[in-house]
């Protein structure tokens, strides 16, 4: 299967690109949206590229890169009573929620802010720039991924 690309959102207070850099790899648990779950369960493959997006940040935007390190598997936190991701409907026999593992690839020197994404030619159709788009896991095209990476490189060059 051809390599795919994704944007995955997380609030830095919960888990940041710096945390992923420190840890090297982590599970991406707690997704409780069926469409996002389906992307993780059915579509993500090892080696797929990920734009790591800091949401509810100052500024919100892409803060680094990761790759999919492990394909979708049941989110076992859904089975742990008193855990914030517990879901009584999900069982080991019939899991509802899934997660993937991410591996750190690169931390951007500066966040590529949402305002830059919105103002960049070629990103007009990117899901994250669409009004009302709140999905925490969303596909991006290779072209969109490459443009965001180039935006980061320009920031580095200008600063450096």
Write down the pLDDT at residue 142: 98
Domains of the chain: which residue ranges?
5-150
Q: Using CA atoms, how far apart are residues 121 and 127, in angstroms rounded to an integer?
A: 14
Write down the pLDDT at residue 108: 97
Write down the pLDDT at residue 156: 57
Q: Which residues of the chain have pLDDT under 70?
A: 155-160
Instruction: With beta carbons less than 8 A apart as the criterion, state whether 6 and 69 touch.
Output: no
Write down the pLDDT at residue 34: 96
The pTM (predicted TM-score) of the whole model is 0.93
Task: Please state the three-class secondary structure of 47-74 as a single string.
Answer: CCEEEEEECCCCCCEEEEEEEEEEEEEE
Write down the pLDDT at residue 2: 85
Domain 5-150 carries which CATH code?
Answer: 3.10.590.10
């Amino acid at each position: 299967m051809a390599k795919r690309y994704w944007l995955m959102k997380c609030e830095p207070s919960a888990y940041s690109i710096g945390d992923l850099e420190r840890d090297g790899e982590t599970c991406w648990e707690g997704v409780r949206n069926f469409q996002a779950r389906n992307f993780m369960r059915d579509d993500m493959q090892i080696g797929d590229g990920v734009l790591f997006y800091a949401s509810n940040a100052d500024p919100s935007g892409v803060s680094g890169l990761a790759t999919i390190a492990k394909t979708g598997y049941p989110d076992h936190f859904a089975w742990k009573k008193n855990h914030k991701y517990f879901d009584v409907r999900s069982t080991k026999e019939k899991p509802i929620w899934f997660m993937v593992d991410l591996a750190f690839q690169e931390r951007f020197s500066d966040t590529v802010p949402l305002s830059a994404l919105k103002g960049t030619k070629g990103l007009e159709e990117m899901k994250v720039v669409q009004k009302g788009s709140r999905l925490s896991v969303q596909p991006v095209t290779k072209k969109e991924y490459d443009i965001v990476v180039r935006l980061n490189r320009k920031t580095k060059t200008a600063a450096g």
